[in-house]
Amino acid sequence: MTDPLTDARLAELDRLLAAATPGEWVPVIPPGRKCAAVRCVRADESFYIYLNVDPDMARETVDRWQADARFIAAAHASLPTLLAEVRRLREGADEVRLKAYEEGVAVGREERKDRKST
């Protein structure tokens, strides 16, 4: 099971994203080679994050590292949208709860303290 996505965790993900190299991240999977990398592309430079380069790796290990490279690149691109969507949905849920409360309608509640850092 995953840990709850608290406000503190959202802030930590924001910090990690802000500290990471900006620009496009692209998985690099050379055909027939036993390696994987993520290329970070900026207007003024690009560099590679190598996941592993070992010609003796088993095929299943290579496949896993290459899948990891694809995931890392996709996560970097998707994280800003996902964080914004979580916040948008939470705000909407809070507004619905408030309106229901004001109208005296019982609504299932998740305690707000569960999402805040302790």
What the block records as the tokens of 81 is 């949208």
Torsion of CA 100, 103, 106, 107, to 10 degrees: 0
pLDDT < 70: residue spans in the chain: 1, 106-118
Say what the alpha-carbon torsion angle 77, 23, 7, 94 is, to the nearest 10 degrees. Answer: -60
